[in-house]
């Protein structure tokens, strides 16, 4: 038996964020069994906490969707850090947790009572060519000219990001997941001024067996690096995600000139043991 946690991420209210299943003390579990458990939980991600192998890391994390393993994902990073700390983990540096995963070392810091991770460097960035843009736009029920701007914002899962005119356009998309194929698609649009969030975000990854992800740290990290870097977003803002799924995820973004930090609240909702 191994310790098990389920953490709701990007929310202070249990059941309103994006849950991640976390298996503690996972050394000795094979990749096939990890993948099978991830398929069984049927959450967007399931993670496994292992002893680190790189100097400076507090733990190593493997991240699985129902469709396969990812080198990095955001809400599992925050949720796993919360589970590790609550289970008694003590970081080598106070106030900083260093996670080892497929993209290398990722730093997680305390963010005014929540947690925030430093966005890893993008593996792919830059403009989207006409053929890719046409295919992605069609899968969202849009014409290419309805997209304000598009860019690759891949920090591990393979994201292509689309900036749309406004939040209403984001919320009203007409989706064709079959047409989306192997693209992992993130869309963002500005919300009306004066609300709790500046942007509305949605994430689609049917190729990973997650048609729409409730709240997505890796996507928000990539979008923030792109939009802050291009001057289309301020250096600090809040993004809302999960609205059409009945969630109320809030993602806090802040650039300090060196790193883009992606943060949010976390709630440990389930504690127990699992037979793996």
Tokens for 73?
A: 């994902």
CB 216 within 8 A of CB 186: yes
Cα 35 to Cα 39, 121, 208: the distances in Å are 6, 26, 12
- Is 45 tagged catalytic? yes
Residue 216: exposure state from Cβ atoms within 10 A (0-12, 13-18, ≥19): buried
CA–centroid distance for 22 within its chain: 15
CB 149 within 8 A of CB 163: yes
Cα 76 to Cα 28, 172, 191, 216, 256: the distances in Å are 20, 27, 26, 9, 23
Radius of gyration of the chain (CA): 18
Catalytic residue among 32, 33, 45, 69: 45
Catalytic residue ranges: 45
């Amino acid at each position: 038996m191994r310790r098990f946690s389920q953490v709701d991420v990007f929310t202070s209210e249990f059941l309103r964020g994006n849950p991640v299943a976390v298996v503690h003390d996972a050394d000795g579990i094979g990749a096939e069994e990890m993948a099978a458990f991830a398929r069984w939980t049927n959450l967007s991600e399931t993670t496994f906490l292992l002893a680190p192998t790189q100097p400076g890391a507090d733990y190593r994390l493997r991240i699985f969707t129902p469709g396969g393993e990812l080198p990095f994902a955001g809400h599992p990073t925050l949720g796993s850090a919360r589970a590790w700390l609550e289970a008694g983990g003590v970081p080598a540096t106070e106030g900083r947790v260093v996670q080892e995963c497929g993209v290398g070392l990722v730093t997680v810091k305390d963010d005014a009572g929540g947690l925030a991770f430093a966005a890893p460097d993008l593996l792919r960035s830059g403009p989207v060519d006409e053929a890719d843009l046409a295919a992605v736009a069609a899968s969202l029920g849009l014409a290419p000219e309805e997209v304000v701007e598009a860019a690759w914002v891949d920090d591990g899962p393979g994201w292509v990001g689309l900036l749309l005119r406004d939040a209403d356009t984001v919320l009203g998309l007409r989706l064709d997941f079959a047409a989306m194929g192997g693209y992992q698609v993130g869309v963002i649009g500005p919300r009306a001024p004066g609300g709790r969030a500046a942007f509305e975000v949605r994430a689609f990854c049917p190729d990973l067996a997650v048609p729409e992800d409730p709240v997505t740290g890796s996507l928000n990290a990539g979008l923030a690096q792109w939009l802050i870097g291009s001057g289309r977003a301020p250096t600090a803002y809040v993004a809302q995600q999960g609205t059409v799924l009945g969630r109320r995820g809030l993602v806090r973004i802040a650039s300090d000139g060196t790193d883009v930090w992606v943060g949010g609240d976390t709630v440990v909702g389930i504690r127990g043991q699992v037979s793996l």
